[in-house]
């Protein structure tokens, strides 16, 4: 007999517990050991990971994290908790809401065990990735299924795959831009100003193998262009206002293009005066938005000749986003909620 309401687990990527090399080493070891993230065979990848990557990258990453670390912790964790609190208020009396991380703590598998022990039996898994990729939402589902394989008394599980064109999600993006334009002025698209949608990249080989991620990013781009009434930049890059790029390249393999950092340099050299950058795949500001975009990409654009660079946050605890997230969860709770009446 079900004695507890459904549980909703909001699952983000994860974060180190401190901006230190030792904390980064453990976090990166877990993250980069996932074969969904690095598809190289472990026999080839493990010596590289342990012998090179984990000797060099933790110190460099710790320095970067220190530039964005907040008084109460990692930005990703702080904003994930804000989202949990906001969604919990929206779903009060409908479901209990929790947050977990795929890598680091609170670990997803530990949270599933804890909720099971508390008597929850219906659990909705909400990966905080609007666009599906095997190396993001896919690995969340892997961890849920592994938990189930080890469990005799299994949970009733629902998962949300992605929501790249959800109306509330698109409204959260578009309203963040229009609110920003009320303060900073609207870009002059006739003069070449651009709005750049920067997504986390994936290796080209993953796309070639059938990963739908790029297509879902394109779907978000088109939906946002329609909502704003601003056309996507044409193939020559001369007409239109919105364009899509990919960031956070790691390693020597070919990744999806165009790269955000290369685009910033190109636009600056073309004497484009202004770019506004929004990151639709990052629901919480984190290292990749606060340091990579708002610091490194800003510097690249301005040094190449650009004049005004605006990073536009859209998620975090912003009401339009948390309402959209609550609505996405509510849509997938149908049936379970009625069983509680």
Annotated binding residues for Fe(2+), written as ranges, equal 200, 288
The span from the CA of 172 to the CA of 147, in Å, is 33
Angle at 172 between CA 11 and CA 322, to 5 degrees: 45
- Category of 243 on φ-ψ map: left (φ > 0), alpha (ψ -120 to 50) or beta: beta
The span from the CA of 114 to the CA of 284, in Å, is 25
CA atoms within 13 A on the CB side of 197: 24
Query: Prior bond to 80 cis, omega within 30?
Result: no
Helix, strand, coil % in the chain, rounded to nearest 5: 50, 15, 35
Q: Which H, E and C letters describe 47-98, residue by residue?
A: HHHHHHHHHHHHHHHHHHHHHHCECCECHHHHHHHHHHHHHHHHCCCCCEEE
Question: How many residues are recorded in the chain?
Answer: 341
Token reading at 152? 């005799």
Cβ neighbors of 17 (< 8 A, separation 6 or more) are 23, 27, 74, 104, 105
The span from the CA of 160 to the CA of 51, in Å, is 37
What are the phi and psi torsion angles at 207 (to 5°)? -60, -45
- Detail the residues annotated as belonging to a binding site: 200, 288
Angle at 218 between CA 38 and CA 261, to 5 degrees: 60
The span from the CA of 170 to the CA of 42, in Å, is 39
The span from the CA of 223 to the CA of 164, in Å, is 9
């Amino acid at each position: 007999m079900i004695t507890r309401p459904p549980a909703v687990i909001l699952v983000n990527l994860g974060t180190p517990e401190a901006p230190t090399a030792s904390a980064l080493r453990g976090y990166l070891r877990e993250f980069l050991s996932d074969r969904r993230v690095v598809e190289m065979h472990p026999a080839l990848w493990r010596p590289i990971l342990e012998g090179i990557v984990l000797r060099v990258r933790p110190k460099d990453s710790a320095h970067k994290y220190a530039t964005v670390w907040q008084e109460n912790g990692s930005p990703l964790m702080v904003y994930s908790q804000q989202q949990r609190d906001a969604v919990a208020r929206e779903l009060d009396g409908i479901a209990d809401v929790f947050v977990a991380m795929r890598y680091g703590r609170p670990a997803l598998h530990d949270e599933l065990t804890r909720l099971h022990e508390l008597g929850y039996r219906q659990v909705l898994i909400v990966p905080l990735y609007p666009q599906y990729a095997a190396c993001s939402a896919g690995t969340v589902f892997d961890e849920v299924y592994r938990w189930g394989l080890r469990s005799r008394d299994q949970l009733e599980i629902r998962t949300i795959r992605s929501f790249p064109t959800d109306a509330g999600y698109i409204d959260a993006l578009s309203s963040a831009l229009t609110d920003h334009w009320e303060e900073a002025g609207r870009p002059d698209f006739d003069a070449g100003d651009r709005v750049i949608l920067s997504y986390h990249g994936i290796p080209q080989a993953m796309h070639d193998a059938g990963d739908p991620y790029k297509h879902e990013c394109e779907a978000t781009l088109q939906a946002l262009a329609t909502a704003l009434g601003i056309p996507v930049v044409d193939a020559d890059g001369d007409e239109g206002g919105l364009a899509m790029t990919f960031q956070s390249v790691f390693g020597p393999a070919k990744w999806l293009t165009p790269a955000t950092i290369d685009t910033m340099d190109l636009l600056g050299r073309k004497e484009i005066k202004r770019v506004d950058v929004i990151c639709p795949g990052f629901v919480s500001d984190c290292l990749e938005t606060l340091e990579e975009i708002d610091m490194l990409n800003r510097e690249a654009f301005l040094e190449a000749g650009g004049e005004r660079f605006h990073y536009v946050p859209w998620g975090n605890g912003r009401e339009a986003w948390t309402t959209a997230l609550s609505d996405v969860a509510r849509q997938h709770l149908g049936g379970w909620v009625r069983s509680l009446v």
